[in-house]
């Protein structure tokens, strides 16, 4: 019997009726002769609500307790879904991440999976149960405390379970029909991709296309798990994420991603001499602050400005560790700009097609969007723009590369 892993996101289990609909779909897959493992997210915005509740109790909630709190959201969905299945005559058992053998390191809030021991899941499947697993949670190997895998982490739970159980496919059910050439909420004529390679999906996800969590794609690539992203509101085929297909010429561009979760920090008047940048960035690394783009201006009078982007939630921490250092090295002040957004163009075919960056910058300029920072990889060009121009920028770049679906546009225009 084939094992199928299905993951349902927050909107898909957003209320009691939707949980019943998910139960219908799961029952159908089970009756079709498959062994089914279901991974669920917390209902609707439950996780956001729990985060906000914690922040009203304390500005710095202990990370261990925050993780226990956040995992409660997924417990609600998993038990309710088990009840809905029981009601449909389908034997189902729910397990927390810890019970399902999702073993992580001890980094609360963004734990990494280091081992999978899903013995209880396999036993329950062998007894004919549908197994439901709480997304996003695990247990630390060293401290035995409950951990969470980071926001969006249920995707990673699902792909990790699919890999450990040798599942035929990992289906990610969400509130859009698949992976599109841009976020369909911003670009109404974005086109659904039938297939996207792990490499391109990794770039899209890393640059803000939150339809899949980055780590789930990494896990899929490293363990060769096919991921089918599809809608929980229809039966249409979605997008297959897998290895680069043979004999298919790389599309030049696969999509445009955007990210509004970062801020820009500038250290002004840094002395222009060897070793100073190393000091700045090793200080940030020691504080486990993830830096994204970096730009150093041309030096004048022996001084230069260094700007970089980082997660917005980490700007206070970055300022706190950099302030003593700026005094020590004789730099000027620190400026923080929180109103930025990053727009990225991703495509494997870019490697062999010159002129992609030029065309992207031309489209932005024609739309009146100023570029504040630029960074590139072999399959990506990213720019930082003002946050209030992010939609204009995404739409302009998407249109310039002809990524849209004319039929969708025609329908929308009707």
Which residues of the shown chain bind ligand ASP in the complex (CB under 6 A)? 9-10, 41-42, 47, 73, 135-136, 151-155
Closest CB 41 distance from ligand ASP, rounded Å: 3
Closest CB 257 distance from ligand ADP, rounded Å: 6
The CA-atom distances, in angstroms, between 13 and each of 20, 45, 392 are 9, 10, 32
* Contact pick of 20, 110, 195, 210 for ligand ADP (by CB under 6 A): 210
From the number of C-beta atoms within 10 Å of its C-beta (0-12, 13-18, 19+), residue 26 rates as: buried
* Contact pick of 175, 272, 337, 405 for ligand ADP (by CB under 6 A): 175
Question: 16, 80 in Cβ contact below 8 A?
Answer: yes
Q: Which is nearer to ligand ASP, 14 or 73 (CB)?
A: 73
Q: Does 211 bind ligand ADP (CB under 6 A)?
A: yes
Sites for ligand ADP among residues 6-25 (CB under 6 A): 9-12
* Contact pick of 4, 43, 161, 179 for ligand ADP (by CB under 6 A): 179
Q: Which does 255 bind (CB under 5 to 8 A by kind): ligand ASP, ligand ADP, Mg ion, none?
A: ligand ADP
* Contact pick of 67, 74, 183, 372 for ligand ADP (by CB under 6 A): 183
- How far apart (Å, rounded) are the C-alpha atoms in residues 375 and 382? 5
Nearest Cα to 381, choosing from 366, 393, 368, 367? Answer: 393
3-state helix, strand, coil in the chain (%, to 5): 40, 25, 35
Q: Which does 136 bind (CB under 5 to 8 A by kind): ligand ASP, ligand ADP, Mg ion, none?
A: ligand ASP
Phi, psi of 91 (to 5 degrees): -70, 125
Sites for ligand ADP among residues 242-281 (CB under 6 A): 255
Q: Does 145 bind ligand ADP (CB under 6 A)?
A: no
Q: Which is nearer to Mg ion, 73 or 347 (CB)?
A: 73
- How far apart (Å, rounded) are the C-alpha atoms in residues 412 and 390? 22
Q: Which is nearer to ligand ADP, 129 or 230 (CB)?
A: 230
Closest CB 135 distance from Mg ion, rounded Å: 9
- How far apart (Å, rounded) are the C-alpha atoms in residues 290 and 107? 15
Nearest residue to ligand ADP, by Cβ distance, number only: 9
**Hey, CA dihedral for 177, 178, 183, 189, is it positive or negative?**
negative
> Cα angle at 381 between 377 and 386, to 5 degrees?
135
Q: Does 170 bind ligand ADP (CB under 6 A)?
A: no
> Which one of the spans 74-82, 173-181, 361-369, 404-412 is the region binding ligand ADP (CB under 6 A)?
173-181
Question: 380, 344 in Cβ contact below 8 A?
Answer: yes
Q: Does 182 bind ligand ADP (CB under 6 A)?
A: yes
Q: Which does 216 bind (CB under 5 to 8 A by kind): Mg ion, ligand ASP, ligand ADP, none?
A: none
Question: 285, 377 in Cβ contact below 8 A?
Answer: no
Binding mask 372-391 for ligand ADP (x = CB under 6 A): --------------------
Closest CB 152 distance from Mg ion, rounded Å: 4
Q: Does 176 bind ligand ADP (CB under 6 A)?
A: yes
- How far apart (Å, rounded) are the C-alpha atoms in residues 140 and 158? 18
Q: Does 185 bind ligand ADP (CB under 6 A)?
A: yes
Work out whether strand 195-197 and strand 340-346 pair parallel, antiparallel, or are unpaired.
unpaired
Q: Does 138 bind ligand ADP (CB under 6 A)?
A: no
Question: 244, 188 in Cβ contact below 8 A?
Answer: no
**Hey, CA dihedral for 147, 152, 34, 175, is it positive or negative?**
positive
Q: Which is nearer to ligand ADP, 27 or 209 (CB)?
A: 209
E-state strands within 255-394: 255-259, 262-271, 294-296, 303-311, 334-337, 340-346, 373-377, 380-386
The CA-atom distances, in angstroms, between 74 and each of 50, 157, 298, 375 are 12, 12, 50, 37
Q: Which is nearer to ligand ADP, 176 or 202 (CB)?
A: 176
Residue numbers at the binding site for ligand ADP (CB under 6 A): 9-12, 41, 152, 174-176, 179-180, 182-185, 209-211, 255
């Amino acid at each position: 019997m084939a094992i199928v892993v299905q993951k349902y996101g927050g909107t898909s289990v957003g209320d009691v009726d939707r949980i019943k609909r998910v139960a219908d779909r799961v029952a159908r897959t089970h009756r079709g002769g498959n062994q089914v493992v279901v991974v669920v997210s917390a209902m609707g915005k439950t996780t956001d609500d729990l985060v906000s509740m914690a922040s009203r109790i304390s500005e710095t909630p202990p990370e261990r307790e925050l993780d226990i709190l956040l995992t409660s959201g997924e417990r609600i969905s998993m038990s309710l879904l088990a009840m809905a299945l029981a009601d449909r005559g389908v034997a189902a058992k729910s397990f927390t991440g810890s019970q399902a053998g999702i073993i992580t390191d001890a980094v609360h809030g963004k734990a990494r999976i280091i081992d999978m021991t899903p013995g209880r899941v396999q036993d329950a499947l062998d007894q004919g149960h549908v197994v439901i697993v709480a997304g996003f949670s695990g247990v630390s190997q060293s401290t035995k405390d409950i951990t969470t895998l980071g926001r969006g982490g249920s995707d990673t739970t699902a792909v990790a379970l699919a890999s450990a159980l040798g599942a035929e496919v990992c289906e990610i059910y969400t509130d859009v029909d698949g992976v599109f050439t841009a976020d369909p909420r911003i670009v109404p004529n974005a086109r659904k991709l039938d297939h996207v390679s792990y490499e391109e999906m990794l770039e899209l996800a890393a640059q803000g296309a939150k339809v899949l969590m980055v780590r789930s794609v990494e896990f899929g690539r490293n363990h060769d798990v096919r991921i089918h992203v599809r809608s929980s509101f229809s039966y249409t085929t979605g997008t297959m994420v897998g290895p680069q297909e043979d004999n298919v010429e790389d599309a030049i561009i696969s999509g445009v991603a955007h990210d509004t979760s970062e801020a820009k920090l500038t250290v002004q008047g840094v002395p222009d001499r060897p070793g100073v940048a190393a000091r700045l960035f090793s200080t940030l690394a020691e504080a486990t602050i993830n830096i994204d783009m970096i730009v150093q201006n041309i030096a004048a009078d022996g001084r230069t400005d260094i700007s970089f982007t980082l997660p917005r939630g980490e700007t206070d921490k970055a300022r706190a560790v950099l302030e003593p250092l700026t005094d020590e090295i004789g730099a000027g002040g620190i400026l923080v700009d929180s109103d930025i957004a990053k727009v990225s163009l991703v495509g494997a075919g870019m490697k062999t097609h010159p002129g992609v960056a030029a065309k992207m910058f031309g489209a932005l300029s024609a739309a009146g969007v100023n570029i504040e920072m630029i960074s590139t990889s072999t399959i990506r060009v990213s720019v930082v723009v003002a946050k209030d121009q992010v939609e204009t920028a995404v739409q302009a770049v998407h249109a310039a590369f002809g990524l849209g679906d004319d039929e969708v546009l025609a329908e929308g225009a009707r």
